[in-house]
Amino acid sequence: MRRHPKDSAESGRRITRRGLIMGGAQLAFMGVLGLRMRYMQVEQADQFRVLAEENRISIRLIAPARGQIFDRNGAVIAENQPSYRIIMVREDAGDIDLVMRRLAALIDLSEADQERALKEMRDSRGDTQVTVADRVSWDDISKVAINAPALPGVTPEVGLSRAYPTGPDFAHVVGYVGPISDFDLQKMENPDHLLRIPRFQIGKVGVETRHEEALRGKAGTKRVEVNAAGRVMRELDRQEGKAGANIQLTVDNALQAYTQARLAGESAAAVVMDCETGDLLAIASAPSFDPNLFVRGISVPDYAALTENKYRPLANKSVQGLYPPGSTYKMVTLLAALDAGVISPEETVWCPGHMEISGRRFHCWKRVGHGHMNLETALRESCDVYFYDLAVKVGIDAMSAMAEKLGIGVRFDLPMSAVARGRAPTRDWKRESFGQAWVVGDTVNASIGQGFVLTSPLHLAVMTARLAVGRKVEPRLIRSIDGVEQVPAPVESLGFNENHLRAIRKAMYEVTNNRRGTAYGSRIITDGYRMAGKTGTSQVRNITAAERARGVVRNEDLPWERRDHALFVNYAPYDNPRIAVSVVVEHGGGGSAVAAPIARDITLQALYQGDPPLEAYPEADRARVQALQERLRRERPVVTTPVQDRA
């Protein structure tokens, strides 16, 4: 049927409108698309370029070199050594189990190491570098490099590992580093990104942990190009971090080595302190251990050997060990009594071998007694009854106050682990600790360094130095940090009456230089180097009345752990104090027979800054000392450097 012309015209108009609408819509769409493309290609070009770069560029942390640790003369005691290692990045590796199996087929990789590395990768961020094997050989590095296409995400690297060239000598002072643990991270509020790297090494004990932040330094970064398989193609650029600060200690390497060697075979500790500056020249604990064993994680058998040793090599006895000071404490009692005015140096006390106090008999070490004793003779021959009498007169309050003034019962701020406070007991302390009142017998026991009194070898060295110079000398271990000298605070006077100090020093001189002195056999012969000292023997068991009646069992006849501790303190030279020394030998027996010879030998070594001439020793000792010097030189050679004048 033929359409009317009007209908045809209307239909044409409709088609035209639809075409225009569709065309306009298409143009609008194309315009929007064009604008979007322009926005993405021009205005967001940098952002998408970065995203594209991230598909082939990886940014990685560069661990800084850890600061080194030196002795007072510049000898290295903690350093960094190059170490080959193999790392893996999970997101670059893909199938980490497959890659690990391939790697284990190439190099010697234990099941435990494989499981440890896989766990660390799964627990860490995908871009974290995990050390799979450390301190590997050059052959292993070569094998990995040659087979790199089959090992995506695996990279051989040259890193730095901590090493302690002096071995056990500084183990208790410097400490050691070890892999960071979850426990370590939990103790930190805002851990450094470096610490998130599995098995990153941090300080665990000693100076290494107390100065961790300074020694660690700041991380750097590097950009590396990787291919689709995750293999590193090239390094694009790097920004070096900041190496850790170097730390210089006050300790003398040669003297420390000698002291450690001289204590060999004993469970013992010794401290050598500069009387003027407080510098710790040697601070040794024996037996020691090799800190290098801990750097990569100590084995179970090695650790068991240390923990099961009855001499406790892991314990730092020089600052952590607490012992009854025995007769080395008698100078505290003397000075308290003189300061309180309850006795004069010439006043005498009768010693019949015991003293009755509150219905209890307190014995002197000399069963038949010493007779009439004054200050000098009582200290020289270590008469206990004389000090019992002083204790009753002066009281515990004055004695403990004097002890604290001399450094006992004080926790010194040293960068070492578990520095003990010690104890100068008081009435309040006993009431709070035991719910009991203080009795006069407690005071009597304290007067000779027994009962509740506890000191470390560090406390005894500080006490001796303060008696020698009459000033508040503080122990110091850090000499400089990154070349900046750590200037000690001015040493103030303790306000003692100089006449009282002079009387005590003269009595200490008699201990080592008078034929009746308890340490006469360990004297120094050379004029200008003679020392003043005090022996000590502290009981670790109670002696019953029945045992006294039938005869006290000799120390050498007792089991080792029930024998008395042997102690000795001294300073030298007597007329110009330069060093103070303390020695404690656990269960060593008598202080005069065991501790005094060790302290004398260490003192001479410090004064002469090396092996002293045999003429400095009593003639009866020279053959033994010569043999000892030759043996130590043969067994323990040390690097010697010029020692600064300490006079």
3-state secondary structure of 319: coil
Q: Which of 318, 327, 382, 456 is catalytic?
A: 327
Amino acid letter for position 129: Q
Q: What are phi and psi of 238, to 5 degrees?
A: -150, 150
Identify the residue whose tokens are 């660690």.
216
Rounded-to-integer distance, Cα 552 and Cα 545, Å = 10
How does pLDDT run across 103-128, given as a tens digit for each residue?
988 888 888 888 888 988 888 877 77
pLDDT of the residue at 642: 39
- What per-residue confidence (pLDDT) applies to 550? 60
Supply the pLDDT for residue 469.
Answer: 97
- Residue 474's contacts (CB-CB under 8 Å, 6 or more residues apart) are 278, 412, 462, 488, 489, 491
CA distances from 511 to 297, 317, 515, 604 (A): 48, 26, 8, 17
Domain architecture of the chain: domains with CATH: 58-249 (3.90.1310.10), 253-544+559-635 (3.40.710.10)
CA nearest to 262, candidates 522, 530, 647? 522
Provide the H-helix boundaries in 252-345: 253-262, 292-295, 300-307, 330-340
Contact of 430 with 438, CB cutoff 8 Å: yes
The pLDDT, as a whole number, for residue 644 is 39
Cβ pair 469, 580 in contact under 8 A: no
Q: Which residues, given as ranges, of the chain have pLDDT below 50?
A: 51, 53-54, 639-647
According to DSSP H, which parts of 64-195 are helical?
90-93, 96-106, 111-123, 138-146, 171-174, 182-186
DSSP classification of residue 130? E
**Residue 417 annotated among the catalytic residues of the structure:** no
Quote the pLDDT of residue 460: 98
- Chain-centre distance for alpha carbon 166: 15
Task: Classify residue 476 by its DSSP letter.
Answer: B
pLDDT for 530 equals 97
Rg, the chain, Cα only: 37
Rounded to whole angstroms, how far apart are CA atoms 384 and 581?
A: 23
Question: Distance (Å, rounded) from C-alpha 146 to C-alpha 184?
Answer: 38
Helices 138-146 and 96-106: angle between axes, nearest 10 degrees: 130
Query: Checking DSSP bridges between strand 69-70 and strand 129-134, what pairing results, if any?
Result: unpaired
Contact between 534 and 560 under an 8 Å Cβ cutoff? The reply is: no
Please state the separation of Cα 355 from the chain's center in Å.
Answer: 44
